[in-house]
Structure 1
Amino acid sequence: MATTDESETREVSPRPALDVLHADQQRLLFEGDHRRTPPIEPFVDGFETRREVVTWWQAAAVRTFGHIAEQWEAADLSRDRALLDHLTGDSESAATQRQRILDAIVLPACQDAFNHLKAAAVERLPGENETDGFDYRDVDPQKEEHPAMRPAHAVLDRRQHEALARLWGGFEDRMAAEAWLHDLVPATHGALDREIGRNLMADRTARTHLIDGDSREAAQYRERLAIGVLLPAFAEAAKSLQGGAATQTETQSHWKQG
C-alpha cells in the first residue's frame, strides 16, 4: 500500500486506468517518453523528420484507442506539405500552427479515448476491501508500463513500433520481407489488407525498395508504405482492442505505388 508521504504527493482515483491513460497522453503531448525505443517525442516540441512524425502517430493511435485517425488521417503526412512543414519546422509560426493542431485535432482525440475508457474502467475499493488484494492507491501513473493499464495495448504498441523500425532499415532478402509481412498480422490485429503481401511482392518497384533499397527513393517509398498502409491498420487495431466498433480498414485508399 502507498505510504502517507506518497499519498500526499500522488492522488489516484478509484478508477486508476483513467489516471494512467491521462499520464500516457501527457507524455505523448507535452513530456515525451524515453522509456520506449525509439522514444516518443512530445508533440508540442515538433519533429525533425517525417519519419519521427510517423513514429509519433503510431504511438498516438495506441494511446487514443485509434481515435486519432478519426481526427487526422495518416495520409495527410504524405499529401499535405504545409502540415508536414508545421510539424517539422522550428520557427515561431510552426510552433503556433502545432498549437492549433493540438487544440483542434489531437486533444479531441485524447478526450474521445478518455470518454471511451471511462465507460469500461473498473472502480476499485482500497486493497483491504478487495478480494484480490489490489489497492488502487499503489498505482503510480508515471511508472505504469502498460498504456491505460492494458497489457494487450502494451504488446500492440511494441509490435507496431518494432514493425516500423524493421521497415525503415529495409530487408536483406525476400524471405526477410515476407517474415516481416507475416508479423504485421498481430501488429495490426488482423486489420491489414490480406492481399498486401501478394501485391507488394508482385510489384518490382516495391520489391526493389523493400529489399536492399539504400537509396533516398527507397527510403521515401518505405515511408509512404508506412503512412498509406500501416498507420491506418495500426489505428484500427487499437480501436478493436478497446472494443470499439471496428470497420474494414481501407489500407489502399491513399496508397500510391511507386
Structure 2
Amino acid sequence: MTTTNQVDEPDPYRPALVTLTEGVRERVDELRTGLDSERRALEWLQEITIRTLGRLDLRVYEDMSRQYRGHQGVLLASLLRSGARRGEMARLDDTVAERVREHFVANYVVPAHRDAFRRLRSDATEYADDADDGDSHDPKRQRFIAMRPALNELEEWQERALDALLEGFDERGELLDWGHDLLLATHGELDQEWITRVYREDSAVAVLTGDSVADQRARRLFAAYHVLPRYRAGVRVLSGRAKETPGTGQGDDTEPPDW
C-alpha cells in the first residue's frame, strides 16, 4: 500500500527526518496489508521499535506478550494475514482485522513516530544544497536509520539475537554466547544476573533448546515478553547519543536524551 499523494516531494534539506519518516511509512504499509507469520510480527515490532527511537508505548509490548500465551490472541491475529491465523482466530473477519490494524497504527505508531520526530528534529543536520541522485545525503540512497549508523549497528545485533532465539539453541552452553549478542542488542539494558538466571532455569532451557511446535511458540512468547521491551530500552538510550552522518561522519547530535 502506498501513499495516494501524487504531488512531488519537497527537496530534502534535512534528510534525517525524511529517512526516519520513510522507515516508519514502509513498516506501516506492510502492517496494513497484514503480516505473514507470528514470527514476522515479532520482527516487525523490533523494526518499528528502532525506527520510532524506542517511543512506542510500553502497553504495546505488554499486549503483544499476552497474544502469544496459549491460543492466538485477537490483536496478533488481526496483525496477520488470514492464512497466518490459527485456532479460533482462523475465522476472524478480514474487515475487522483491517480495522484493528488501522486503530493500532493510529493509536500507537503515529504517536510514537511523532515523538521520535520531535526528538530528532533539533539534532537533524541541515544541508545547504539539495540532494541529487549521486548525493550521500539523498534519503533514497541513505541506508542508515535516521542517518545514524549506530542505530543500524544496533538493529543488526537485535536481528541476530532475535533470530537465534526464535530458531532455538542446541545446548545450554550456547545461551552464554547468545548473552554476549543480547547485551549488544539491548545496548546493555539487561539486569546483571539476567543471562545467568536464564542459564540456571531448567524450564527456560528446555524451551530454548526444544524443537517441538510448543517450544517454538514458547520462544516467541519469551521474545515478546523478555527481549523486545529491553530492545526498546536500549534504543531509547542509544538514540540520544547517536550521531548523524551522510557517510562522512558529519553531525551535530550532542544533546542528551530528554527522558
Normalising TM by the smaller chain, what interval? 0.7 to 0.9
> SS at 1:73's partner residue?
helix
Q: Is the 8 A contact 2:58 2:229 kept in 1?
A: no
Q: Give the Cα separation in 1 of the matches to 2:131 and 2:23.
A: 17
Map 1:200-219 → 2, pairs under 5 A? 200-211=198-209, 213-219=210-216
* CA RMSD across the alignment: 2.0
Kept in 2: contact 1:74–1:228 (CA 8 A): yes
Unaligned stretches of 5+ residues in structure 1: 1-8, 31-41, 127-134, 247-258
Instruction: Name which of 49, 55, 79 aligns with 2:66.
Output: 79
User: What whole-Å deviation, never above 9, does each CA across 1:165-221 have from its counterpart, x for those lacking one?
Assistant: 11111111222221001211111000122222111111111111112x101221122
- Identity of matched residues, %: 31
1:99 partner amino acid: E
The 1-side partners of 2:232 and 2:223 are apart by 12
Match of 2:251 in 1: none
Query: Which secondary structure state, in structure 2, belongs to the residue aligned with residue 214 of structure 1?
Result: coil
SS of 1:174 mapped into structure 2: coil
| CA displacement at 1:72 relative to structure 2 | 4.0
Which residue among 73, 88, 91 is the counterpart of 2:80? Answer: 88
Query: How far did 1:10 drift?
Result: 6.0
**What is the alpha-carbon distance in structure 2 between the residues aligned to residue 148 and residue 182 of structure 1?**
26
Structure 1 residue aligned with 2:51: 63
Give secondary structure in 2 for the equivalent of 1:74.
helix
Q: Look up the match of 2:238.
A: 241
Q: Which runs of 5+ in 2 are unaligned?
A: 1-7, 68-72, 83-93, 241-256
1:99 and 2:97 matched:
no
Q: How many residues align?
A: 218
* Contact 1:191–1:233 (Cα < 8 Å) also in 2: yes
Amino acid at match of 1:176: E
TM-score by length of 2: 0.78
The Cα of 1:136 is off from its aligned counterpart by 4.6
Residue aligning to 1:13: 12
Partner of 1:221: 218
Residue identity opposite 1:205 in structure 2: S
Residue deviations 1:150-178 (CA, integer Å, cap 9, x gap): 00000011110111111111111222221
How many Å separate the matches in 2 of 1:28 and 1:178? 32
Report what 2:146 is aligned to: 148
